[in-house]
Amino acid sequence: MEIEQVLDNALRKAAAIWIRPSGHEPRLVWALWRDGAVLVAVGGTEQVVPGLEDGVACTVTVRSPTTHSHLVDAPATAYRTELDDEAAAALKTARLNGRPEWESVYRLEFA
């Protein structure tokens, strides 16, 4: 099975992933799988991810949604993005912490 299919299958069900921006420690983050990439909201009332910046290489670690065992490590690049209304609504709807307010959203695209 190709890595894209493994990622798609796992990330459709995953609410949290580990990301490690280059030169930083891994961080467990809440993320949303959308349109073949991972969206990560940071700042404001959201999580803090040291080293997550536009153009930074990251390693994304995904665990199995059923067994919680390590599934795959995948290289990705983070891109700061502006969300359209539909993507912003999806991110807010999927978030469990009430009224999410973020400063930035990064789209992690897989190589």
The CATH number of whichever domain residue 44 belongs to comes to 2.30.110.10
DSSP 6: H
Contact 55, 79 (CB under 8 A): yes
For 27-74, the pLDDT digits (tens) are 999 888 888 899 999 988 888 999 999 999 999 998 876 777 777 889
Query: Higher model confidence: residue 14 or residue 84?
Result: 84
Q: How many domains does the chain have?
A: 1
Measuring CA to CA, which residue among 55, 25, 32, 35 is closest to residue 102?
32
Query: Higher model confidence: residue 110 or residue 98?
Result: 110
Model-level pTM? 0.87
Query: Higher model confidence: residue 73 or residue 79?
Result: 79
Domain that residue 20 falls in = 3-110
Q: Is the pLDDT of residue 1 over 70?
A: no
